[in-house]
A and B are shown apart, each in its own frame.
Chain A
Amino acid sequence: MTGTAGWRIAGVTLACVLAGCVTINIYFPAAAAERAADRIIDEVWQLKPDAVKPKTDKPAATP
């Protein structure tokens, strides 16, 4: 009886985990996207100390 229940729990867990894996693979890798966003934003906004460069290139913007 308890053995059957145990297998049932394991079965349900497996089903949930498989569903989770499918979800992760088909849907969006949020953590990886966040890391990618951070790398790009740090570069664009010059947030990392080693990325700060002296003001050499100034965009010619004013018409």
Chain B
Amino acid sequence: MTRLNALRAFVLVLLLAFAGLAAAQANLEINTPAIAALQRSMQERHAQLQPLYASGAVGLTRDGNVALRDANAVPLAQRAQVNALVAAENQDRAALYREIARANGKPEWESDIRATFAQRWIDKAQPGWYYQNASGAWVRK
């Protein structure tokens, strides 16, 4: 009898656990004007960044940024422009991670959001693009 009760308690606990899990799976808020503006800005910049990813000049870093990986892949005359492009992209990315954390009322999530994005940028990168592995070495996808 007590054993049956224990089993019941166990099942109840499991049900509660799944209910809690389902609640934790709600979506993050990303529909804010600030996030939409950053998204647009990055989307426009991507037209210029795409050939740089493809040539290996620019790669995806393990911390959710982009970096000039191979300066020699960029003609000298365009290097300053590429550096500016990389800096602007990283600025938008930092703002994006911060804004998502803020939009969800959890500024302390910023570094976790950055880490999540770092992984997903790399997962979604096209074959041939370069990314940094966990130890910081550049790897061609």
Contact = CB atoms under 8 A, between A and B. Distances in A.
Interface of chain B, helix or strand or loop or mixed? helix
Given A10-B6, A24-B24, A28-B112, A17 B46 contact: no
Interface in A4-59: 4, 6-7, 9-10, 13-14, 17, 20-21, 24-25, 28-47, 57-59
A25 B24 contact: yes
Interface string B4-24: 011101100110110011001
Interface residues of B, number: 41
B38 to A, nearest CB: 9
Interface size class, chain A? 35 or more
B27 interface: yes
Interface of B: 1-3, 5-7, 9-10, 13-14, 16-17, 20-21, 24-28, 30, 35, 39, 42-48, 81, 96, 100, 109, 112-113, 116-117, 119-121, 124
